[in-house]
Each structure stands twice: as structure tokens, then as C-alpha cells.
A and B are shown apart, each in its own frame.
Chain A
Amino acid sequence: MTHDLLDAKSAGAFGSLPGRRSVGIADARRVAMVLIWIVAALVGSARVALAQGGGDGETLFTQKCTACHTIGGGNLVGPDLAGVVDRRDPAWLSQWIAQPDKVLAAGDPIATQMLAEFNNVPMPNLALTEAEVSAIITYLANPGGAVTAPVVAMGVGDAAHGRALFTGASRLANGGPPCMSCHSIAGLGALGGGALGPDLTFAYNTYGGDAGVATFLNTMPTVTMNAVWARQPLTPAEQDDLRAFLQEASVQQRPPQALWQLTALSVLGTLLFMGAGHLYWRSRLGSVRKTMVQRARI
């Protein structure tokens, strides 16, 4: 694709050549175009080579998939992928891995059922190339042993500091943006956090507890997160703190009677306000005439 684009560009440049007034400039342009073309071609082929050579499905799997999946290690955020190649139709599988969001949006029955099964956490589009997808499928067909979630070195985090990092009260060491700019967590400030990313109140549970969250924070596998965090990763200590905070946030669930308490309080508050308003404005729109008549009767 890159080639086509550049080809079209250079062709355009040459095509307009006869119209140029200065041959010198045209020559220089031609040389520049050829150079760009060559460089682009080199980069493009290098990329293809990388994808093919990185046919190293195992590496890709470790980088991109283990945050949510195991092979023979049981379900994590997503299903255990042991024997998945045998279970699923190959065409479906490759399309799913390449563009899970589109498959889901199309209302695929298998995908829909899995979504419900796995806490409504949709599989993110990881922007894998065709070659990468086939490399992963090749790897999945013959993984050569069980792959459980990679053990990320986990320390004991400080939830309070994690909260500070989340809200931006403390800066992240590598300069990443505070989580709150895109994510919200229940009970965090009057207005909550950003709404660009998903609400993270129950993320700790839906992403498979300590192991899952730790892997996620370490690898940041989704496209959006990766784009932000690849250049300015979280330090291990920050990961621990944030994980501790997410755990704390998910544990603070509302007891069932709280809903009734809140309702009762709201009703009581409304009545109080209405009563106060009625007292304050009780003479509003009072009839002048009736008051006069009543006064005269006394």
C-alpha cells in the first residue's frame, strides 16, 4: 500500500514536468522524488520482512495476548486458548484476531455469546497485520507447552499513592498523563474523571485480579493505551501503586441497603426543601380580596 501511494505521488510529479519553467528545479525534484521512493521502498520492505520474520508468534503472543489469555492455564480476562485452532473455523479465527471490534459490531453469534460470558469486556482491536495474525495462529496451533500469564514481578503497592497517581496529584515518573484524564472511578471527585476511556471502578475484577491487571499495566496491550504508554511506560513501583488503588476501588462496593438509604434521604431532602420554600413563599399569589374579607369578618 505504501508503495502504491508513493508511486502515484512520483508519477504525478513527473507527469507535471513539461509544464515547469525551470529545468534545473525539475531535475532536483526528480532526484528528490527518486530518493524518497527508494527510501520508502526500503522501509516498506523492511517492515514486511519484520512482520514475516517476526513470524515469531510466541513473542507476539507474549507481548499482545498474555494480558488476557493463557494457553492451558485456564480462563483469565478472556478464554483459555488451548486448542482454539481446533475449536474454531480458521477463517473466523483470523478475522476475529485481526478485527474483533468489527466482528462484534456485525453481531457475530459466537462473539456475542463470548462477550456475555466474559464480563462484557470486549476484545480490543490490536491492529495486527495479516502476517502477524497468521503468525499467532501458527503459534496457537502448536504452542509447545502451556503458557500461563507471564509472571510480572509484583511488589506491594500503596493504594493512597496510587490514588494520587490516578488523579494526577503526583506526577508519573516518565511523564505519562494521569489516568483520570481519560478514566473515571466511582467516588473520585464530584465530577468523576474523563469519559474517553472506560470506567475503571470494577476493572480490577473484570481484568482478572492482580495477575491480569499487573500484566495489563505492564504491557498496555490495547492500541489506544499502547500509543500513549509505549513511549512513557509506568515504572514497576507505579504499576504496583495503581494496581493497589484499583483493587481498593473495586472492593468498595455499595451495600444493597445504601440504595434505599439514598432514596429515603433524597425524598426527605426534597420534602424539606419544598417545605422551606412553601414557608418562605407562602404569601405569594395570595388573594388580596379574600384576605380583606376574612379580616373584616373577625
Chain B
Amino acid sequence: MDIRAQVSMVFHLDKCIGCHTCSIACKNIWTDRKGAEYMWWNNVETKPGTGYPTAWEDQDKYKGGWEQQNGKGSDIRLKLHSRLGGLGNIFFNPYLPTVDDYYEPWTYDYDHLFSAPEGDDQPTARAISLITGKPMEIEAGPNWDDDYGGSPVYAENDPNLGALTEEEREQLTEMERVVFFYLPRICNHCLNPGCVGACPAGAVYKRGEDGIVLLSQEKCRAWRMCVSGCPYKKTYFNWSTGKSEKCILCYPRLESGQAPACFHSCVGRIRYLGVLLYDADRLKEAASAPAEQLVHEHRSLIQNPHHPLVIEAAKANGISEAMIQAAQHSPVYKFVKQWKLALPLHAEFRTLPMLFYVPPMLPVLAKIKDGVYDNADAASAQLGPLLSSLEQARMPIRYMASLFSAGNVDVVEDSYRKMIAVRIYMRAKMVGDVSEEEVQQALQAGGTTAEEVEAIVHLTARPTFEERFVVPPLAREVAIEQTLDPFTQKREGGFGFRRAPARGA
């Protein structure tokens, strides 16, 4: 058992209101720089939709992540290329998104509003490209398909819709039945990162003490294989410095005990951060599992931080007492391992992402009837007017399975049944219009207990700041002292580049 610590995340999608505050917080801190204008280390997408960059989930096009080799046991290989193929394509990586697939970043000619000569019309501020510096037509943006904007183009082409029947697809966009939800995304800080596997320069690495995936600005040689290799398209190429960049999980904030900016600023308080202890010996096995078992294998990697054997192995690996304590209080451990509510995004990419999502329940279907908001038809009489059932889920379960469980419907259903049990339990408790028998049925179906439900409700609806973000003391000074004088690091580290990046070697 090779126990390591990983700072992990849970996003509770039912609480996301799609306000993009997280994206703005991140933008203002990290990517408000030349060459990084188009980057959104954190972005929020509407689902169904093609997201940012366009159709990033389509690995036939982008070749991200890992795949099982045919007839070679259970070994997985990079979908992008073999070692030799990578060498052959090193000057010619054909699987990159174009600027247009992200979007051409722009600003406005604000100065014109003040300096325009007097005329009959109001002066306007034209859009100016941040790449060419010339006036441009805006054709797309990072959240261009927000709330089904341009859905005949964008939502239509969501790769996950392939899992649905023609009828189901039509229902999704039917008038008054329209349904969508938001999917905020940051780097997943995977256990088996495609970007690390694809980098020919060895510039991308996973930090030992906390598992944060970082990209060295000194070692990066601009091959851009990480951009293709990451199936989530969360590494970006800075066209000004000639280096790739990615989400750093705000490690300077974490190191000083603060939650990352996108977590801290989240309006819906959907984000949870905590440490998970996992068994690195079984990584390859878990990443190579058959698709329907991927989520199960992924969960089985995560070890109980209260178990004496795990604690012993963790200490043997140099994980500090404080880190183990943080793992014991981790909200992520509860959502992912204990309650089995949160699921990894696109487990079939086999990168073992460490950002988990609690799938959304979505509002109950209703229609305007005689000018009144009426949901009597839609909701099952048995469950009462405000509660949905799994069978009546507005977004077909197979769509959710395509997103969160590599197509395994059972895993998603288990998660949903438990959440339905929570709703029914709380309805009975708060309103009292559900019979005790129904509550017990729901609890049984959800495989949960009243105690667990209370805990879930507390962490979902009424968590304190400290319960949402259990930031471990990262003790960077201890981690670096073998190779670097911590006092030198203290003086030289910080914002900006310690050495100005330049193009070329």
C-alpha cells in the first residue's frame, strides 16, 4: 500500500446557478495577462452543450486521455500517440483546438466613446481583437452557448446526446419542457493525468505532497502535446510567452491556508475542498478497468483516513499528522467515498480525475396552465407535487451516465436514489405531508439511514466555511527543503515568474 495525499474537490451541481463568478475570480487573479486572454482555467458550461473549447468531450477529434489497447491485456495507452508516433508528430501535432474553438478574445474601443467627434449619432465602442489589435466581428465567446444560446448549433452537437434516443433528444428542447444545467469545470488534478503522460519535455508534473498538477514554465518547450493529451482541455498555450499554462488550484492561496479563488468566491457555495488519501499502487489497475467498473475502481483507490493501517502507511510515506487529520475531516471523502454521491466527470477518459460532481436533481417539470404554474400532471401523486422521481427525471439518466459514470446507469441511479431519499426524508420532517412508510421506503431504496441523511443535508445545505474548505497545512517548506533552502524560496517565490519566460530553448 503506497498511500499518498491528494487535494480533491466536489462540485454540487444542484446548487450551481451558472453565475460565472468563479470564472471571473480566477480570471482576475491568474489569466488577466497578455497571451492568456482566451484562457479560462475555470469556466462554466451549460449542459447539454458543446462547452469550451467547442466539443471538448469529442475525443475522436482531440485524442485526449487514455484508451485500452486492443488485445494487449489491460494495459492502457495515451489516445494521442505512441512514443514513436509522438516523436514523429512532435513538430506536427494535428489534434489541437484552434483559436476559434476557444474564441478570439477581444476588448472594446472604449476610448472612442470619449474622443469621437460630435455627430448625429451616439458614438459606439467597437470590438477590438486582443490577438490582432484590429476591429473584429465577435463570433463566439467562452460561454457562447450559455442557457441554450444558439442551441440548434451548440446543444445539438453535445457528444453526450449520443446516448439518448431520437425521441428523448427532441423532448429536451421541447417548448416548456426545456431543461439544462450548469457544469463548472477546472483542472481535475487527475491521478493519471493525460497532460503529464503526453508532455515530451517533462514539464508537467504532479506535486508530491498534495497531488496538484503543475506545469513548469522553465521546462515547457511549447510542444503543446499537453493541450491535446488533456481530455478536459484544461491546459492552454500562451501565445505570448510560448509556454503552456493551466489551473494551479491556487496553490499560493492553499499554502497560506485559503481556499482557491473560485471556491472562495462561489455564490451558490457549491464547492468543497479536502484531502483524500489514495493507494498509488493500484493506480494502473484502476485506470485500466473495464468502462462499467471505472467509477467503482476509482472509489476503491480512496482509502479510509480513520483506518489504522492506512494511517500507518501514510506516515511511512512522510504524510504529516496534520494532513491525515485534514483527510479525516475532508468533505470530499464524505461525498465521494462515504455517501457515494459525487461522481467523476467522464471516467472513460481514464485519467482518474480528482474533481467529483454531485449530479443535479433539476427542478420538477411544470407547465403554465390557464396562466398558473402547475406541476400536478408531472409529479407523481405518490411523491407529492414538489418531488421528482428517478423514473421521471427530466434529464434522461443515460445522459448523466454518459457524463459521470462512463455509461454505467446503475452508479448514477444509486446516487440519485440517495438524493431522492434525502428530499423525501426532509419533506416529511419539515412539511410533514409524507407518510413514515414512504420515508422508510425511500431510505431503503437509497441505501441510506436517517442519520446519514441528516449529515448529507447538513453538509449540502448548511455547511460552515470551515466544513466546506478543509485546507490542509501544505508545509511547502518541508517539501522543498531537500533541494532548496526554504528561506531562499520564501524570498524568491511569489507572484510572477521568477525568471521571465522567453520563446525558444
Interface positions of A (Cβ within 8 A of B): 281, 284-290, 292-293, 296
Contact = CB atoms under 8 A, between A and B. Distances in A.
A295 to B, nearest CB: 8
Chain A interface secondary structure, helix, strand, loop or mixed? helix
Given A281-B94, A292-B50, A292-B54, A287 B100 contact: yes
Interface in B447-469: none
A10 B179 CA distance: 108
Interface size class of B (residues with CB under 8 A): 10 to 19
A293 B144 CA distance: 13
A288 B94 contact: no
A285 B98 contact: yes
A294 to B, nearest CB: 9
Contact of B97 (A284, A288, A293): A288
Given A287-B101, A288-B58, A296 B96 contact: no
Interface in B98-135: 98, 100-101
B413 interface: no
A287 B98 contact: yes
Interface string B81-106: 00000000000001011101100000
Interface string B416-431: 0000000000000000
B61 A288 contact: yes
B98 A292 contact: no
Interface string B154-185: 10110000000000000000000000000000
A288 B54 contact: yes
B55 interface: yes
B153 interface: yes
22 contacts: A281-B94, A284-B94, A285-B96, A286-B98, A287-B54, A288-B50, A288-B53, A288-B54, A288-B97, A288-B98, A288-B101, A289-B54, A289-B100, A289-B101, A289-B140, A290-B100, A292-B50, A292-B55, A292-B153, A296-B152, A296-B153, A296-B156
Contacts, number: 37
A292 B61 CA distance: 13
Nearest to B98: A287
B422 to A, nearest CB: 39
Given A285-B94, A289-B54, A296-B153, 12 more contacts: A281-B94, A285-B96, A287-B54, A287-B98, A287-B100, A288-B61, A288-B98, A289-B55, A289-B140, A292-B50, A292-B157, A296-B156
A250 B174 CA distance: 85
Q: List 6 A-B pairs, minimum CB-CB distance, nearest first.
A: A289-B54, A287-B100, A296-B153, A284-B94, A288-B54, A287-B98
Interface in B42-96: 50, 53-55, 58, 61, 94, 96
Contacts of B139: 293
Nearest to A294: B153
Nearest to B61: A288
B101 A293 contact: no
B154 A292 contact: yes
B154 to A, nearest CB: 7
Contacts of B53: 288
Contacts of A286: 98
Given A288-B58, A288-B101, A293 B94 contact: no
A290 B61 CA distance: 14
Contacts of A293: 139, 153
Nearest to B99: A287
A286 B55 CA distance: 13
Nearest to A290: B100
Contact of A288 (B55, B152, B156): B55
Contacts of A284: 94
A112 B55 CA distance: 73
A58 B53 CA distance: 91
Contacts of B97: 288
B489 to A, nearest CB: 40
